[in-house]
A = this chain, B = another copy of it.
Amino acid sequence: MLKAILVIADGMADRPVKELGWKTPLESAHKSSLNQIAKTGICGILDPISPGVPPGSDTATLALLGYDALKVYSGRGALEALGSGVNVLPGDVAFRCNFSTANEKGIILDRRAGRIANDDAVKLADSLQKIRLKKPANAEFLFKSTIQHRTVLSIRGPKLSTAVSDSDPGKNGEKPQEIKPLDTSSEAKLTARIVNELLQDFHKTLKNHPVNEERAKHGLPQANVVLCRGAGTIPNIEPLSQIFGIHATCVGAAPLVKGVCKTAGMRIADVKGATGTPQTDYLAKAKAVVQALKNSDFVLLHVKATDVASHDGNVKQKIEVIEKLDGMLGYLLNHVDLSSTYLAVTADHTTSTVTGNHEGDPVPIAITGPYIRYDDVMEYNERSCAKGGLNRIKGMNLMPIMMNLLGKTAKFGA
Protein backbone atom coordinates (compact mmCIF):
# COMPACT_ATOMS: atom_id res chain seq x y z
CA MET A 1 0.00 0.00 0.00
CA LEU A 2 1.49 3.34 -1.10
CA LYS A 3 1.76 6.14 1.43
CA ALA A 4 3.10 9.69 1.49
CA ILE A 5 4.79 12.07 3.91
CA LEU A 6 4.86 15.80 3.30
CA VAL A 7 7.39 17.71 5.38
CA ILE A 8 6.72 21.46 5.60
CA ALA A 9 9.58 23.43 7.11
CA ASP A 10 8.00 26.74 8.02
CA GLY A 11 9.81 29.68 6.40
CA MET A 12 12.89 27.53 5.63
CA ALA A 13 13.50 29.12 2.20
CA ASP A 14 15.50 32.34 2.22
CA ARG A 15 17.36 34.82 0.07
CA PRO A 16 21.16 34.95 -0.28
CA VAL A 17 22.71 36.76 2.70
CA LYS A 18 25.99 38.62 2.79
CA GLU A 19 27.36 37.00 5.97
CA LEU A 20 27.08 33.61 4.25
CA GLY A 21 28.98 34.81 1.16
CA TRP A 22 25.70 35.41 -0.64
CA LYS A 23 24.46 31.92 0.02
CA THR A 24 21.17 31.12 1.72
CA PRO A 25 21.03 29.37 5.12
CA LEU A 26 19.78 26.26 3.32
CA GLU A 27 22.73 26.45 0.91
CA SER A 28 25.13 26.83 3.86
CA ALA A 29 23.79 24.09 6.13
CA HIS A 30 25.13 20.54 6.37
CA LYS A 31 22.16 18.51 5.24
CA SER A 32 22.96 15.05 3.99
CA SER A 33 19.38 13.81 4.32
CA LEU A 34 17.87 16.74 2.45
CA ASN A 35 20.48 16.23 -0.26
CA GLN A 36 19.72 12.51 -0.32
CA ILE A 37 16.05 13.31 -0.95
CA ALA A 38 17.00 15.75 -3.74
CA LYS A 39 19.43 13.24 -5.30
CA THR A 40 16.96 10.38 -5.36
CA GLY A 41 13.94 12.52 -6.10
CA ILE A 42 12.44 15.02 -8.47
CA CYS A 43 13.01 18.66 -7.55
CA GLY A 44 11.56 22.01 -8.39
CA ILE A 45 10.47 25.33 -7.07
CA LEU A 46 6.98 26.09 -5.83
CA ASP A 47 4.98 29.27 -5.47
CA PRO A 48 2.87 28.66 -2.36
CA ILE A 49 0.15 31.06 -3.58
CA SER A 50 1.40 32.97 -6.60
CA PRO A 51 4.77 34.44 -7.65
CA GLY A 52 5.67 37.44 -5.51
CA VAL A 53 2.83 36.96 -3.03
CA PRO A 54 4.05 36.51 0.57
CA PRO A 55 1.85 33.82 2.12
CA GLY A 56 0.88 33.29 5.71
CA SER A 57 1.41 29.82 7.13
CA ASP A 58 -2.36 29.35 7.08
CA THR A 59 -2.92 30.19 3.41
CA ALA A 60 0.23 28.32 2.36
CA THR A 61 -0.74 25.18 4.27
CA LEU A 62 -4.23 25.30 2.78
CA ALA A 63 -2.59 25.51 -0.66
CA LEU A 64 -0.11 22.70 0.06
CA LEU A 65 -3.07 20.52 1.06
CA GLY A 66 -4.50 21.17 -2.40
CA TYR A 67 -7.03 23.90 -1.69
CA ASP A 68 -7.36 27.14 -3.63
CA ALA A 69 -6.50 29.46 -0.74
CA LEU A 70 -7.42 32.56 -2.74
CA LYS A 71 -10.96 31.23 -2.87
CA VAL A 72 -11.44 29.41 0.44
CA TYR A 73 -9.37 31.35 2.99
CA SER A 74 -11.63 32.98 5.53
CA GLY A 75 -9.31 34.58 8.07
CA ARG A 76 -6.82 33.44 10.68
CA GLY A 77 -8.90 33.48 13.83
CA ALA A 78 -11.01 30.37 13.38
CA LEU A 79 -8.04 28.29 12.19
CA GLU A 80 -5.92 29.28 15.17
CA ALA A 81 -8.80 28.71 17.59
CA LEU A 82 -9.55 25.32 16.10
CA GLY A 83 -5.87 24.40 16.29
CA SER A 84 -5.84 25.48 19.94
CA GLY A 85 -8.54 23.01 20.80
CA VAL A 86 -11.49 25.41 20.76
CA ASN A 87 -14.54 23.82 19.21
CA VAL A 88 -15.24 26.26 16.39
CA LEU A 89 -18.31 25.43 14.32
CA PRO A 90 -19.29 26.71 10.88
CA GLY A 91 -20.69 30.21 11.35
CA ASP A 92 -18.70 30.94 14.51
CA VAL A 93 -16.42 33.96 14.21
CA ALA A 94 -13.10 33.62 15.99
CA PHE A 95 -10.17 35.94 16.71
CA ARG A 96 -6.54 35.51 17.61
CA CYS A 97 -6.05 37.59 20.78
CA ASN A 98 -3.27 38.72 23.10
CA PHE A 99 -3.17 39.45 26.78
CA SER A 100 -1.54 42.88 26.87
CA THR A 101 -0.59 45.64 29.24
CA ALA A 102 -2.17 49.10 29.14
CA ASN A 103 -1.42 52.10 31.38
CA GLU A 104 -4.08 54.18 33.17
CA LYS A 105 -4.78 56.21 30.04
CA GLY A 106 -5.46 53.00 28.12
CA ILE A 107 -2.28 53.17 26.06
CA ILE A 108 -0.76 49.78 25.31
CA LEU A 109 2.67 49.50 26.91
CA ASP A 110 3.31 45.86 26.02
CA ARG A 111 1.23 43.96 23.46
CA ARG A 112 2.39 40.68 25.04
CA ALA A 113 2.01 41.52 28.75
CA GLY A 114 5.65 40.61 29.33
CA ARG A 115 5.08 37.25 27.62
CA ILE A 116 2.98 36.29 30.64
CA ALA A 117 3.52 32.80 32.05
CA ASN A 118 1.04 30.11 31.02
CA ASP A 119 -0.19 29.58 34.59
CA ASP A 120 -1.19 33.21 35.02
CA ALA A 121 -2.72 33.37 31.56
CA VAL A 122 -4.84 30.27 32.17
CA LYS A 123 -6.19 31.65 35.46
CA LEU A 124 -7.12 34.96 33.84
CA ALA A 125 -8.75 33.21 30.90
CA ASP A 126 -10.82 31.04 33.26
CA SER A 127 -12.17 34.17 34.93
CA LEU A 128 -12.98 35.80 31.61
CA GLN A 129 -14.82 32.70 30.43
CA LYS A 130 -17.28 33.17 33.34
CA ILE A 131 -18.51 36.46 31.89
CA ARG A 132 -21.90 36.19 30.15
CA LEU A 133 -22.78 37.99 26.94
CA LYS A 134 -25.68 40.35 27.66
CA LYS A 135 -27.26 40.34 24.22
CA PRO A 136 -28.28 38.89 21.93
CA ALA A 137 -29.53 36.18 24.26
CA ASN A 138 -28.60 33.39 21.88
CA ALA A 139 -24.95 34.42 21.51
CA GLU A 140 -22.09 32.93 23.51
CA PHE A 141 -18.31 32.91 23.46
CA LEU A 142 -15.31 30.70 24.12
CA PHE A 143 -12.08 32.23 25.36
CA LYS A 144 -8.95 30.15 25.72
CA SER A 145 -5.37 30.78 26.71
CA THR A 146 -2.95 28.88 24.46
CA ILE A 147 0.74 29.74 24.97
CA GLN A 148 1.94 32.68 27.08
CA HIS A 149 0.10 35.87 26.01
CA ARG A 150 -1.60 34.11 23.13
CA THR A 151 -5.34 33.49 23.39
CA VAL A 152 -8.26 32.83 21.10
CA LEU A 153 -11.81 34.11 21.26
CA SER A 154 -14.65 32.48 19.39
CA ILE A 155 -18.14 33.97 19.18
CA ARG A 156 -21.17 31.83 18.45
CA GLY A 157 -24.52 33.29 17.55
CA PRO A 158 -26.92 33.81 14.72
CA LYS A 159 -25.84 36.02 11.83
CA LEU A 160 -22.24 36.91 12.59
CA SER A 161 -19.65 38.20 10.12
CA THR A 162 -15.86 38.19 9.74
CA ALA A 163 -16.04 41.65 8.12
CA VAL A 164 -14.86 43.45 11.24
CA SER A 165 -11.61 45.27 12.00
CA ASP A 166 -9.00 44.43 14.66
CA SER A 167 -8.81 45.99 18.10
CA ASP A 168 -5.08 45.24 18.16
CA PRO A 169 -3.23 48.40 17.02
CA GLY A 170 -0.30 46.18 16.01
CA LYS A 171 2.27 48.15 18.04
CA ASN A 172 2.88 49.51 21.50
CA GLY A 173 2.25 53.16 22.37
CA GLU A 174 -1.28 53.30 21.01
CA LYS A 175 -4.74 52.68 22.41
CA PRO A 176 -6.72 49.59 21.42
CA GLN A 177 -8.87 50.34 18.40
CA GLU A 178 -12.62 50.11 18.42
CA ILE A 179 -13.66 47.11 16.34
CA LYS A 180 -15.59 48.41 13.34
CA PRO A 181 -17.83 46.71 10.80
CA LEU A 182 -16.05 46.57 7.43
CA ASP A 183 -19.23 46.42 5.40
CA THR A 184 -22.75 47.71 5.83
CA SER A 185 -24.30 44.36 6.79
CA SER A 186 -26.23 43.99 10.03
CA GLU A 187 -24.09 40.89 10.71
CA ALA A 188 -20.87 42.92 10.72
CA LYS A 189 -22.41 45.60 12.92
CA LEU A 190 -23.66 43.00 15.40
CA THR A 191 -20.32 41.17 15.52
CA ALA A 192 -18.42 44.41 16.12
CA ARG A 193 -20.81 45.43 18.90
CA ILE A 194 -20.62 42.04 20.66
CA VAL A 195 -16.81 41.97 20.63
CA ASN A 196 -16.41 45.62 21.65
CA GLU A 197 -18.71 45.13 24.64
CA LEU A 198 -17.02 41.87 25.56
CA LEU A 199 -13.55 43.41 25.46
CA GLN A 200 -14.75 46.14 27.83
CA ASP A 201 -16.12 43.50 30.18
CA PHE A 202 -12.80 41.65 29.91
CA HIS A 203 -10.97 44.82 30.93
CA LYS A 204 -13.23 45.33 33.99
CA THR A 205 -12.55 41.80 35.17
CA LEU A 206 -8.83 41.92 34.45
CA LYS A 207 -7.91 45.25 35.96
CA ASN A 208 -8.62 44.19 39.55
CA HIS A 209 -7.92 40.51 39.14
CA PRO A 210 -5.91 38.85 41.93
CA VAL A 211 -3.46 37.45 39.37
CA ASN A 212 -2.69 40.96 38.19
CA GLU A 213 -2.42 42.27 41.76
CA GLU A 214 0.07 39.52 42.40
CA ARG A 215 1.97 40.37 39.21
CA ALA A 216 2.08 44.02 40.23
CA LYS A 217 3.66 43.05 43.55
CA HIS A 218 6.42 41.24 41.66
CA GLY A 219 6.96 44.10 39.23
CA LEU A 220 5.48 42.15 36.31
CA PRO A 221 3.38 43.83 33.60
CA GLN A 222 -0.34 43.41 34.27
CA ALA A 223 -2.41 41.57 31.68
CA ASN A 224 -5.27 44.06 31.84
CA VAL A 225 -6.38 44.32 28.22
CA VAL A 226 -7.24 41.73 25.56
CA LEU A 227 -6.36 42.71 21.98
CA CYS A 228 -8.08 40.90 19.08
CA ARG A 229 -7.21 40.48 15.42
CA GLY A 230 -7.82 38.31 12.37
CA ALA A 231 -11.57 37.66 12.54
CA GLY A 232 -12.15 34.40 10.77
CA THR A 233 -14.55 31.62 10.19
CA ILE A 234 -13.95 28.01 9.25
CA PRO A 235 -13.25 27.66 5.53
CA ASN A 236 -15.97 25.83 3.67
CA ILE A 237 -13.84 23.00 2.26
CA GLU A 238 -14.25 19.32 1.54
CA PRO A 239 -12.13 17.09 3.78
CA LEU A 240 -9.18 15.26 2.21
CA SER A 241 -10.88 11.97 2.99
CA GLN A 242 -13.68 12.96 0.65
CA ILE A 243 -11.51 14.46 -2.10
CA PHE A 244 -8.89 11.71 -2.25
CA GLY A 245 -10.33 8.93 -0.11
CA ILE A 246 -7.39 8.99 2.27
CA HIS A 247 -6.72 8.86 5.99
CA ALA A 248 -4.53 11.85 6.77
CA THR A 249 -2.65 12.85 9.92
CA CYS A 250 -0.91 16.05 10.98
CA VAL A 251 2.21 15.99 13.15
CA GLY A 252 2.87 19.55 14.25
CA ALA A 253 2.70 21.93 17.17
CA ALA A 254 1.74 25.31 15.68
CA PRO A 255 -1.96 25.96 16.44
CA LEU A 256 -2.53 27.76 13.13
CA VAL A 257 -1.29 24.81 11.10
CA LYS A 258 -3.11 22.28 13.28
CA GLY A 259 -6.26 24.33 12.70
CA VAL A 260 -5.83 24.17 8.93
CA CYS A 261 -5.29 20.42 9.13
CA LYS A 262 -8.42 20.00 11.26
CA THR A 263 -10.53 21.87 8.71
CA ALA A 264 -9.14 19.49 6.10
CA GLY A 265 -10.45 16.64 8.23
CA MET A 266 -7.03 15.40 9.28
CA ARG A 267 -6.31 13.62 12.52
CA ILE A 268 -3.95 15.61 14.76
CA ALA A 269 -1.25 13.52 16.38
CA ASP A 270 -0.47 14.38 19.97
CA VAL A 271 3.32 14.60 20.18
CA LYS A 272 4.93 15.09 23.56
CA GLY A 273 7.85 17.50 23.29
CA ALA A 274 6.66 19.16 20.06
CA THR A 275 6.65 22.83 20.99
CA GLY A 276 6.74 24.87 17.77
CA THR A 277 10.06 26.36 18.91
CA PRO A 278 13.71 25.72 17.93
CA GLN A 279 13.88 23.56 21.11
CA THR A 280 11.17 21.21 19.86
CA ASP A 281 11.78 17.45 20.10
CA TYR A 282 12.64 16.66 16.50
CA LEU A 283 13.12 12.95 17.13
CA ALA A 284 9.75 12.68 18.87
CA LYS A 285 8.11 14.24 15.83
CA ALA A 286 9.91 11.88 13.44
CA LYS A 287 8.83 8.92 15.56
CA ALA A 288 5.28 10.26 15.57
CA VAL A 289 5.33 10.33 11.77
CA VAL A 290 6.47 6.71 11.55
CA GLN A 291 3.76 5.80 14.06
CA ALA A 292 1.06 7.79 12.24
CA LEU A 293 1.98 6.21 8.94
CA LYS A 294 0.74 2.87 10.27
CA ASN A 295 -2.86 3.96 9.99
CA SER A 296 -2.64 6.91 7.58
CA ASP A 297 -2.16 7.21 3.83
CA PHE A 298 -0.78 10.71 4.20
CA VAL A 299 1.14 12.38 7.01
CA LEU A 300 1.95 16.07 7.13
CA LEU A 301 4.94 16.90 9.30
CA HIS A 302 5.15 20.59 10.11
CA VAL A 303 8.22 22.18 11.72
CA LYS A 304 7.81 25.74 12.98
CA ALA A 305 11.37 26.29 14.24
CA THR A 306 12.85 27.37 10.90
CA ASP A 307 10.41 30.28 10.77
CA VAL A 308 11.10 31.36 14.34
CA ALA A 309 14.83 31.67 13.63
CA SER A 310 14.11 33.59 10.43
CA HIS A 311 11.79 36.14 12.02
CA ASP A 312 14.48 36.75 14.62
CA GLY A 313 17.01 37.35 11.81
CA ASN A 314 19.16 34.68 13.43
CA VAL A 315 21.11 33.18 10.51
CA LYS A 316 23.21 30.94 12.73
CA GLN A 317 20.16 29.53 14.49
CA LYS A 318 18.36 29.04 11.18
CA ILE A 319 21.25 26.91 9.93
CA GLU A 320 21.27 24.94 13.21
CA VAL A 321 17.54 24.33 12.97
CA ILE A 322 17.86 23.20 9.34
CA GLU A 323 20.56 20.75 10.45
CA LYS A 324 18.32 19.41 13.22
CA LEU A 325 15.50 19.07 10.71
CA ASP A 326 17.95 17.22 8.48
CA GLY A 327 18.63 14.81 11.33
CA MET A 328 14.89 14.28 11.71
CA LEU A 329 14.66 13.50 7.99
CA GLY A 330 17.57 11.06 8.44
CA TYR A 331 15.43 9.20 10.95
CA LEU A 332 12.59 9.07 8.45
CA LEU A 333 14.88 7.85 5.65
CA ASN A 334 16.03 5.05 7.94
CA HIS A 335 12.67 4.07 9.36
CA VAL A 336 10.28 4.46 6.47
CA ASP A 337 9.97 1.96 3.64
CA LEU A 338 10.84 4.14 0.67
CA SER A 339 9.84 1.41 -1.76
CA SER A 340 6.24 2.15 -0.86
CA THR A 341 6.37 5.64 0.64
CA TYR A 342 6.74 8.99 -1.05
CA LEU A 343 8.57 11.65 0.90
CA ALA A 344 8.24 15.30 -0.11
CA VAL A 345 10.02 18.22 1.55
CA THR A 346 9.16 21.86 1.03
CA ALA A 347 8.67 25.12 2.90
CA ASP A 348 5.40 26.99 3.26
CA HIS A 349 7.06 30.25 2.31
CA THR A 350 10.34 32.12 2.17
CA THR A 351 11.14 33.98 5.37
CA SER A 352 14.04 36.35 4.89
CA THR A 353 16.52 36.55 7.75
CA VAL A 354 17.33 40.03 6.38
CA THR A 355 13.83 41.53 6.33
CA GLY A 356 12.45 39.23 9.05
CA ASN A 357 9.30 38.90 6.93
CA HIS A 358 7.52 36.28 4.91
CA GLU A 359 8.50 36.94 1.30
CA GLY A 360 7.01 36.07 -2.07
CA ASP A 361 9.95 34.08 -3.49
CA PRO A 362 9.31 30.47 -4.49
CA VAL A 363 10.39 27.63 -2.17
CA PRO A 364 12.30 24.44 -3.01
CA ILE A 365 10.41 21.17 -3.33
CA ALA A 366 11.75 17.62 -3.68
CA ILE A 367 9.78 14.39 -3.85
CA THR A 368 11.43 11.00 -3.53
CA GLY A 369 9.86 7.56 -3.70
CA PRO A 370 9.14 4.70 -6.09
CA TYR A 371 8.73 5.35 -9.82
CA ILE A 372 9.57 9.04 -9.45
CA ARG A 373 11.07 10.69 -12.53
CA TYR A 374 14.16 11.59 -10.47
CA ASP A 375 16.32 14.31 -11.97
CA ASP A 376 19.99 15.26 -11.73
CA VAL A 377 19.69 17.78 -8.90
CA MET A 378 22.22 16.77 -6.26
CA GLU A 379 21.52 19.25 -3.50
CA TYR A 380 18.42 20.49 -1.74
CA ASN A 381 18.29 24.28 -1.77
CA GLU A 382 16.47 27.22 -3.34
CA ARG A 383 18.67 27.51 -6.41
CA SER A 384 19.63 23.94 -7.26
CA CYS A 385 16.03 22.77 -6.99
CA ALA A 386 15.08 25.45 -9.56
CA LYS A 387 16.92 23.28 -12.11
CA GLY A 388 14.87 20.21 -11.27
CA GLY A 389 12.39 18.17 -13.21
CA LEU A 390 9.31 19.68 -11.61
CA ASN A 391 10.28 23.14 -12.87
CA ARG A 392 8.03 25.73 -11.21
CA ILE A 393 4.70 24.64 -9.78
CA LYS A 394 2.05 26.18 -7.57
CA GLY A 395 1.40 25.20 -3.97
CA MET A 396 -2.02 23.79 -4.77
CA ASN A 397 -0.48 21.54 -7.46
CA LEU A 398 1.55 19.50 -4.95
CA MET A 399 -1.26 17.51 -3.34
CA PRO A 400 -2.74 16.27 -6.64
CA ILE A 401 0.82 15.28 -7.72
CA MET A 402 1.37 13.28 -4.52
CA MET A 403 -2.11 11.80 -4.47
CA ASN A 404 -1.69 10.73 -8.07
CA LEU A 405 1.53 8.94 -7.10
CA LEU A 406 -0.55 7.09 -4.50
CA GLY A 407 -3.16 6.26 -7.13
CA LYS A 408 -5.74 8.38 -5.36
CA THR A 409 -6.74 10.77 -8.15
CA ALA A 410 -9.70 10.28 -10.44
CA LYS A 411 -9.24 10.36 -14.18
CA PHE A 412 -10.63 13.49 -15.78
CA GLY A 413 -12.18 12.35 -19.03
CA ALA A 414 -12.42 8.97 -20.70
Cβ contact of A357, chosen from B16, B49, B387, B407, cutoff 8 A:
B407
In the assembled complex, A230 has its CB within 8 A of some CB on chain B: yes
Residues B403 and A52 in contact, CB atoms below 8 Å apart: yes
Chain A, 190-236, CB within 8 A of any chain B CB: 230
Residues B56 and A414 in contact, CB atoms below 8 Å apart: yes
| Residues in B neighbouring A156, C-beta threshold 8 A | none
On chain A, which size bracket covers the interface?
35 or more
Majority-rule SS of A interface residues: loop
In the assembled complex, A313 has its CB within 8 A of some CB on chain B: no
Shortest beta-carbon distance from A255 to chain B in Å: 11
Residues A413 and B355 in contact, CB atoms below 8 Å apart: no
Among A57-65, A85-93, A127-135, the stretch in contact with B: A57-65
| Residues in B neighbouring A51, C-beta threshold 8 A | 393-394, 397, 400-401
Cβ contact of A56, chosen from B382, B383, B413, cutoff 8 A:
B413
In the assembled complex, A341 has its CB within 8 A of some CB on chain B: no
Residues A58 and B413 in contact, CB atoms below 8 Å apart: yes
Among A102-110, A175-183, A328-336, A368-376, the stretch in contact with B: A368-376
Residues A401 and B360 in contact, CB atoms below 8 Å apart: yes
- A412–B69 CA distance with the chains assembled, in angstroms: 9
Given contacts A373-B361, A386-B389, A392-B392, contact A49 B401 (CB under 8 A): no
Residues A96 and B414 in contact, CB atoms below 8 Å apart: yes
Residues A256 and B414 in contact, CB atoms below 8 Å apart: yes
Residues B52 and A412 in contact, CB atoms below 8 Å apart: no
- A335–B383 CA distance with the chains assembled, in angstroms: 30
In the assembled complex, A241 has its CB within 8 A of some CB on chain B: no
| Residues in B neighbouring A403, C-beta threshold 8 A | 52
Cβ contact of A16, chosen from B230, B256, B374, B404, cutoff 8 A:
B374
Nearest B-chain residue to A232, judged by Cβ: B414
| Residues in B neighbouring A412, C-beta threshold 8 A | 49, 53-56, 59, 69-70, 73
- A57–B412 CA distance with the chains assembled, in angstroms: 9
Cβ contact of A399, chosen from B52, B54, B391, B407, cutoff 8 A:
B52
Residues A411 and B373 in contact, CB atoms below 8 Å apart: no
In the assembled complex, A168 has its CB within 8 A of some CB on chain B: no
Apart from A45-B389, A56-B413, A361-B373: 6 A-B pairs, beta carbons within 8 A = A52-B403, A55-B413, A57-B414, A96-B414, A256-B414, A391-B392
